[in-house]
């Protein structure tokens, strides 16, 4: 079980080599297969996640949630997807059509790209970049542009307001997010995610870096545009914010991308703070799934409990609380590392 996926990949590459393909082409085919698998997993995952979110919100709000289609309503999301696929694709006449159409695609592509560096299990990472964390943060912040594209091209005040909020929010929260991760990087001594996981074989970084985890978690919620920080969407004020003018599958792509981001960010949290794929008994890829889902449950729990924070409070939370706290955390971590080194650790 442990090496299930690795064995599959090895069998595939062996078979391709036997067919007489060169190593370059074999690797390329393997990469394509890996990406296809990831995209499939993401889509499947989102279907499960949407169902889960609805079930959990139902549980929190003392109602049933979807319960008609299939056992516990588990086919509900599939039916919803089909409905969204068959919906009319409305593009308002005054929009910037090119940008309007590319925005959702851009968003989903960026979200999928995040998965390249996340170790899904022992030796299971698509591209083992030595600056993996750096890559993750930089690509992750590109989603802002997608939302800005959507908001700008919609030619709608609600959309533009939502987009501007999103930009302001993302720029502000990018800083505490990156700073909070620096503590982890300093201890692990590497930006490579596999190395960071390996560094946690003795002790999880949540124990060494609790403050960093809390800052990361709050900043990530803001980065994900999830409640209580769902400013760009804010349906009570901005109707649907940046997504107001989108219908059908284009809108669903945003939805898909947001959940994809949610999984990626949760997986990163599991990787950085909860020992990644490490765990007893179960195969490594199972562990990362379990950890990721547990973190996502907390995200959902927060979303369905809290009201939305106000825009200016949101900004002051970032600049006045999270940034100083994460900076102090870096200082304390640095001093701590030196002390431990001095003690010959």
Partner 1 sequence: MFVESEPYIINIGPQHPSTHGGMHVEALMDGEEVVNVTIHLGYVHRSVEKIAESRTYTQFIPYAARLDYMSTNLPAWGYVEAVEKLSGLTVPERAQYIRVVMGELSRIASHMMFVGSLAIDLAATTGLLYCLRDRERIMDMLEMTSGQRLLSSYMRLGGVSHDLPEEFFPAVKSFLTDVPAMLDEYNGLITGNEILQARCNGIGVLTPETALAYGVTGPNLRASGISYDLRRADPYGIYDRFDFNIPVAQKGDCMARLMVRLEEIEQSARIIKQALEQMPEGEILGKVPKVLKPEKGREVYHRTESAKGELGYYLLADGTDKPARLHVRAPSFINLMVLPIISRGSKLQDIITNIATLDPVLGESDR
Residue 288 beta carbon to partner 1: minimum distance, rounded to whole angstroms:
30
Q: Per CB under 8 A, does 187 bind partner 1?
A: no
Q: Quick one: 122 or 226, whose CB is closer to partner 1?
A: 226
Classify the C-alpha dihedral 312-310-228-205 as positive or negative.
positive
Count residues near partner 1 (CB under 8 A). 26
Distance, in Å, from the CA atom of 233 to the CA atom of 3, rounded to the nearest integer, reads: 42
Residue 93 beta carbon to partner 1: minimum distance, rounded to whole angstroms:
19
Residue 178 beta carbon to partner 1: minimum distance, rounded to whole angstroms:
25
Q: Which stretch binds partner 1 (CB under 8 A): 60-68, 87-95, 185-193, 270-278?
A: 60-68
At residue 56, what are phi and psi to the nearest 5 degrees?
A: -70, -40
86 to each of 80, 81, 283, how far by Cα in Å?
10, 9, 40
Q: Quick one: 128 or 237, whose CB is closer to partner 1?
A: 237
Q: Quick one: 62 or 86, whose CB is closer to partner 1?
A: 62
Can you say how many angstroms the Cα of residue 110 is from the centroid of all Cα atoms in its chain? 10
User: Do residues 159 and 241 touch, judged by C-beta distance below 8 A?
Assistant: yes
Q: Quick one: 10 or 320, whose CB is closer to partner 1?
A: 320
233-272 residues near partner 1, rule: CB under 8 A: 234-237, 239
Residue 72 beta carbon to partner 1: minimum distance, rounded to whole angstroms:
20
Using the rule CB under 8 A, which residue among 21, 30, 48, 60 binds partner 1?
A: 60
Q: Per CB under 8 A, does 312 bind partner 1?
A: yes
Q: Quick one: 92 or 283, whose CB is closer to partner 1?
A: 92
Using the rule CB under 8 A, which residue among 138, 305, 334, 340 binds partner 1?
A: 305
Using the rule CB under 8 A, which residue among 313, 320, 328, 331 binds partner 1?
A: 313
146-175 residues near partner 1, rule: CB under 8 A: 157-158, 161
Q: Per CB under 8 A, does 122 bind partner 1?
A: no
For residue 106, which of 142, 153, 134, 133 has the smallest C-alpha distance? Answer: 142
Q: Which stretch binds partner 1 (CB under 8 A): 53-61, 93-101, 198-206, 321-329?
A: 53-61
91 to each of 163, 214, 217, 255, 257, how far by Cα in Å?
18, 41, 36, 18, 20
Q: Quick one: 43 or 239, whose CB is closer to partner 1?
A: 239
Q: Quick one: 171 or 331, whose CB is closer to partner 1?
A: 171
Residue 233 beta carbon to partner 1: minimum distance, rounded to whole angstroms:
10
Distance, in Å, from the CA atom of 169 to the CA atom of 100, rounded to the nearest integer, reads: 22
Q: Quick one: 58 or 279, whose CB is closer to partner 1?
A: 58
Using the rule CB under 8 A, which residue among 307, 341, 344, 345 binds partner 1?
A: 307
Name the residues that contact partner 1, by CB under 8 A.
57, 60-63, 157-158, 161, 227-228, 230, 234-237, 239, 304-313
């Amino acid at each position: 079980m442990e090496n299930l996926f690795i064995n599959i990949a090895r069998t595939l590459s062996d078979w391709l080599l036997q067919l007489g393909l060169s190593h370059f082409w074999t690797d390329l085919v393997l990469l394509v297969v890996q990406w296809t698998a990831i995209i499939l997993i993401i889509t499947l995952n989102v279907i499960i996640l949407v169902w889960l979110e609805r079930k959990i919100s139902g549980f929190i709000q003392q109602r049933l949630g979807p319960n008609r289609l299939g056992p516990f309503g588990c086919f509900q999301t599939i039916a919803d997807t089909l409905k969204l696929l068959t919906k009319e694709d409305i593009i308002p006449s005054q929009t910037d059509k090119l940008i309007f159409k590319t925005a959702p695609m851009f968003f989903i592509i960026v979200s999928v790209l995040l998965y390249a560096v996340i170790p899904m299990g022992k030796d299971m990472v698509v591209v083992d970049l030595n600056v993996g964390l750096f890559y993750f943060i930089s690509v992750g912040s590109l989603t802002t542009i997608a939302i800005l594209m959507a908001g700008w091209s919609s030619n709608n005040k609600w959309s533009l307001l939502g987009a501007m909020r999103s930009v302001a929010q993302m720029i502000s929260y990018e800083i505490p997010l990156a700073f909070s991760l620096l503590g982890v990087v300093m201890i692990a001594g590497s930006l490579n995610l596999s190395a960071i996981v390996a560094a946690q074989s003795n002790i999880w970084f949540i124990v060494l870096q609790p403050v960093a985890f809390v800052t990361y978690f709050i900043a990530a919620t803001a980065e994900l545009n999830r409640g209580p920080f769902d400013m760009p969407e804010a349906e009570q004020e901005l109707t649907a914010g940046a997504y107001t003018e989108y219908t059908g599958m284009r809108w669903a792509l945003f939805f898909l991308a947001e959940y994809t981001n949610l999984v990626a960010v949760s997986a990163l949290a599991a990787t950085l703070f909860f020992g990644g794929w490490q765990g007893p008994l179960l195969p490594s890829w199972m562990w990362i799934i379990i950890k990721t889902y547990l973190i996502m449950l907390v995200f959902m729990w927060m979303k369905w409990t809290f009201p939305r924070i106000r825009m200016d409070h949101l900004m002051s939370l970032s600049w006045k609380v999270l940034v100083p706290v994460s900076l102090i955390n870096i200082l304390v971590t640095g001093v701590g590392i030196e002390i431990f080194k001095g003690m010959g650790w």
